[in-house]
Structure 1
Amino acid sequence: MFPDRVLSGMRPTGALHLGHYHGVLKNWVRLQQEYPCLFFVADWHALTTHYDNPQVIEASVWDMVIDWLAAGVDPAQATIFIQSRVPEHAELHLLLSMMTPLGWLERVPTYKDQQEKLTDKDLSTYGFLGYPLLQSADILIYKAAHVPVGEDQVPHIEMTREIARRFNHFYGREAGFEEKALDAAKKLGGKRNKLYLELRTRFQEQGDEAALEQARALLQEAQSLSLSDRERLFGYIEGGRKIILPEPQALLTEASRMPGLDGQKMSKSYHNVITLRESAESVTKKVRTMPTDPARIRRTDPGDPARCPVWQLHQVYSDQATCEWVEQGCKSAGIGCLECKQPVIEKILQEQEPMRERAQQYLDDPQLVKNIVADGAEKARALAQETMREVRDAMGLSY
């Protein structure tokens, strides 16, 4: 079986905020304890929209990695690297571009969506059209099994699966494939070999999906197979081709429930964010000056929490007892807006305190961050080079 790797990346386009933490980083911290994880700074992806101002990217790269480390991403558990430090991403992107139909790229929903949203930028570039394919190369080069994404990104993963399927269809043809697959099956041992062939027949003749899953599980457990033999046997179950690039699965993540200071989604473009490592004074000032229910002009006016952006922050940070206290106090004018905001301020600062502490050692010694990224790039590159050797062999480019 291909390793159960998780891959995820983030574009370096400015300081990370609490929306990133609740939407992505908390999930990464959990995943790194369950899977081998690779997390990368997608600096080439950032160039698709910031090609005319790359200074923004350079300034953001190191700060973003410090934000990851501050949030609890652990370099002892996960591989952290910068995309452009692994040039094999670009090579695979180029080779995949030779066989990817133009229509596949044009139909990715975010392609038109981003062009409509970012009207201040000229996105009629080859790089912007091809960025979903670069994203596919990022995933396929590590043979990632799982890619954590929000619902809006699922079409990207589906396209990646189609590209893997198309690549395997074109290049998984191998001279003497069936004989090699049958020889590989013998290495499973008598009973397992027989069961594997029976399951293959059931899937191929009757379309039995349960048999396919059982056969895959059988191969996953087999310790006696080389990587090439395993790839052949995976391909042989489904047809007559070797699986070189496995199809990844989308690992759906919940959308961040983190509201901004004005009640809209927290986003830099709305200027309503609290950054991950913002000072306690700044956080306190921002929350204390947040707008509240317009009906509460005076302290004695009753209000409605449903019309107040602060109430949305209570939904994220406060326990049930505090929420009940807020609801009752607001509707009866028993508490003022500043009193209502204080528990939120305390909870945000409590959440940020360990982040600021973890970040300090990297701010004091920036070389530590560079070492982490260099080690991560070395590990990632070793995996990427292994895949590229197989890709070149399959495409007949090893002369």
Structure 2
Amino acid sequence: MENRVLSGMRPTGQLHLGHYHGVLKNWLVLQNEYDSYFFVADWHAFTTHYSDKIDLESNVTEMVVDWLAAGINPNTSTIFVQSKVPEHAELHLLLSMITPLPWLERVPSYKDQQEKLKTKDLGTYGFLGYPLLQSADILIYKAGLVPVGEDQVAHIELTREVARRFNYVYGREADFEEKAEIAITKMGKKQAKSYRTLRKAYQETGDDEALIRAQAMLKEQQNITLGDRERLLGYIEGVGRIILPEPESLLTKASKMPGLDGQKMSKSYGNTISLRDSADEIEVKIKRMPTDPARVKLTDAGDPEKCPVWQLHKVYSDEQTCDWVKDGCVHAKMGCIECKQPVIEGVQAELLPMQERIAKYQADPSYIKQIIHDGSQRARNVAKETMTEVREAMGIIY
């Protein structure tokens, strides 16, 4: 579905400002523009944390609480938990039967993560195959768009290749052309004639405009089933039935939220501010942040670009405050503690209303359970439809 977006997060611990600025704020925009599916990727947590004692039940619940507190709306978005939709696992299994091993081994994050997480034994099938599980997560909802950073684009490309291979292997029904011709007649004389004209224009002259017009016409067609629509999409392109549509990457801006040490904010670096940190904890963390090493004494001039605190000013301070910081630092007019105060206040002001909403949701655990249940049921209904088509295409209907 071109208008459907899918994205997820692993419940491996508390959410922090990096998650909020890098993912959740983007979701807030997407949920008003697309048919949005946001899921807690609890199975994915086992790819790197299978031997860790994680309180998964608590992490899943609290993650959904944080999403709601950040503004994700369960009435306009489908919020669900991956393991509540077992069809993800079934599709992953079936896709694994046709996915060449080198495709998984060449995914950049495979070797990168093994290098970064040397303390963990990642020589498992689950870790090698997790990009394919991601592909199943996407393809089972026929999501047209997947919001990702640049480092995840390779995963979407793998998903496209897997979908293409699946459609090539299983979309070629023995009576495909006969079924496609029958489907054309169901469209009505005028539409059928238009479809044939556009198909001929595309196949004989490569007219891309004809392809686009035919696709738009099929999308609006009410007289044919979803299966027939997919057959006719494949028929115009000279391939078989398109069972699993190829998704597109929806490139998101890199998060501008640096960690307390100037690196990317990450739990593995121990440089985070949690969405749940109290005002006092926020103050202590920011006051302990390193600054420009050249500023040993108050009278020493500094360079904001060499100071991690300056990166936070770019996120939380207005232009006037930033000018005040630059002037005070470069000309040694103020100390680093004074410079940090606007950032402390900015983070506290951002998190206070969110934390008030978190407390409200925590006080009503049955409401959170209901949201997870309802969202997972909605997601599963869609997943079941896809799996019916997949099983039919593969001949698993006995």
Same fold (TM over 0.5): yes
Q: Deviations over 1:161-193 (max 9, x none)?
A: 111111111111224322322332334344433
Question: 1:237-280 deviations in whole A, cap 9, x for unaligned?
Answer: 11141111111111111111111111111111111110112111
8 Å CA contact retained: 2:301, 2:329: yes
> What letter corresponds to residue 382 of structure 1 in structure 2?
N
User: Counterpart amino acid of 1:351?
Assistant: E
Please list, as runs of the form range in 1=range in 2, the aligned pairs for 1:362-373 lying within 5 A after superposition: 362-373=361-372
Give the structure 1 partner of residue 248 of structure 2.
249
Q: Residue 42 of structure 1 aligns to which amino acid in structure 2?
A: A
Q: Is the 8 A contact 1:177 1:240 kept in 2?
A: no
In the other structure, the counterpart of 1:273 is: 272
| Partner-residue secondary structure (3-state), 2:18 | helix
Residue in structure 1 matched with residue 4 of structure 2 by the alignment = 5
Structure 1 position 153, deviation (Å): 0.8
Aligned residues: 398
d(CA) in 2 for partners of 1:307, 1:156: 34
Matched, 1:156 2:155: yes
Contact 1:171 1:394 in 2 (8 A): yes
| Structure 1 partner of 2:133 | 134
**Distance in 1 (alpha carbons) for counterparts of 2:243 and 2:176:** 13
Q: 2:168–2:239: 8 Å Cα contact kept in structure 1?
A: no
In structure 1, distance between residues paired with 2:293 and 2:52: 40
List aligned pairs for 1:35-74, cutoff 5 A.
Answer: 35-74=34-73
Instruction: Name the amino acid aligned to 1:378.
Output: Q
1:384 deviates by 0.7
Q: Render the CA deviation track for 1:285-304: whole Å, top value 9, x for unaligned.
A: 21122222222222233221
Residues 1:92 and 2:102 are matched in the alignment? no
Deviation, structure 1 residue 56 = 4.4
- What secondary structure sits across from 2:80 in the alignment? strand
Shift of the alpha carbon at 1:194?
2.6
Deviates more, 1:329-338 or 1:127-136: 329-338
d(CA) in 1 for partners of 2:38 and 2:22? 15
> Deviations for 1:85-117, whole angstroms, at most 9, x for unmatched residues?
111111111111111111111111111111121
Residues 12 and 54 in structure 2, CA contact (< 8 A), matched pair in contact too:
no
Report the 3-state secondary structure (helix = DSSP H, G, I; strand = E; otherwise coil) of the residue aligned with 2:6. Answer: strand
* Distance in 2 separating the partners of 1:318 and 1:223: 53
Query: Which of structure 1's runs of 4+ aligned residues deviate more than 6 A?
Result: none
SS of residue in 2 equivalent to 1:55 = coil
Q: Give the aligned partner of residue 110 of structure 1.
A: 109
Match of 1:176, as an amino acid?
D
- Greater CA drift, 132-141 or 364-373: 364-373
Task: Tell me, yes or no, if the aligned pair for 1:244 and 1:390 is still in contact at 8 Å.
Answer: yes
2:317 is the counterpart of 1:311 = no
Looking at structure 2, the residues matched to 155 and 322 of structure 1 have their Cα atoms a distance apart, in angstroms, of: 40
In percent, how many aligned pairs have the same letter? 66
Between the aligned partners of 1:223 and 1:325, the Cα distance in structure 2 is 62
Superimposed CA distance per residue, residues 20-48 of structure 1 (whole angstroms, 9 cap, x where no aligned partner): 11111101111011111111111111111
Alpha-carbon deviation of 1:52? 1.3
Q: With the length of structure 1 as denominator, give the TM-score of the two structures.
A: 0.96
- Read off the aligned partner of 1:37 and give its amino acid letter: S
List alignment gaps of at least 5 residues for structure 2.
Answer: none
**Which residues of structure 1 form unaligned runs of 5+?**
none
Specify the SS of the correspondent of 1:123. Answer: coil
Matched, 1:340 2:377: no
Q: Secondary structure at the match of 1:93?
A: helix
Judged with a 3 Å threshold, the aligned counterparts in structure 2 of structure 1 residues 142 and 330 are, in CA distance, closer, same or farther, namely: same
Query: Aligned Cα RMSD in Å?
Result: 1.6
1:295 alignment counterpart: 294
| Contact residue 160 and residue 246 of structure 2 kept, 8 A | yes
- How far is 1:343 from its partner? 1.4
Report the counterpart of residue 174 of structure 1 in structure 2. 173
For the structure 1 residues 110 and 56, does the alpha-carbon distance in structure 2 shift closer, same or farther, using more than 3 Å as the test? Answer: farther
Indicate conservation of the 8 Å contact 1:305/1:327, yes or no.
yes
Asked if 1 retains the 8 angstrom alpha-carbon contact of 2:17 and 2:275, the reply is yes
The offset of 1:3, in angstroms, is 5.5
Query: Partners of 1:289 and 1:106 in 2: how far apart?
Result: 41
Q: Aligned AA for 1:338?
A: I
| 1:54 Cα deviation from its structure 2 partner | 4.8
> Residue deviations 1:117-155, cap 9 Å, x none?
111111111111111111111111111111111111111
Note the C-alpha offset of 1:5: 1.0
Aligned to 1:356: 355
Question: Counterpart of 1:334 in structure 2: which amino acid?
Answer: K
Answer whether contact 1:178 1:240 (CA < 8 A) is retained.
Answer: no
Instruction: Quote the Cα distance in structure 1 between the aligned partners of 2:367 and 2:102.
Output: 44
Whole-angstrom CA distance in 2 between matches of 1:144 and 1:79: 13
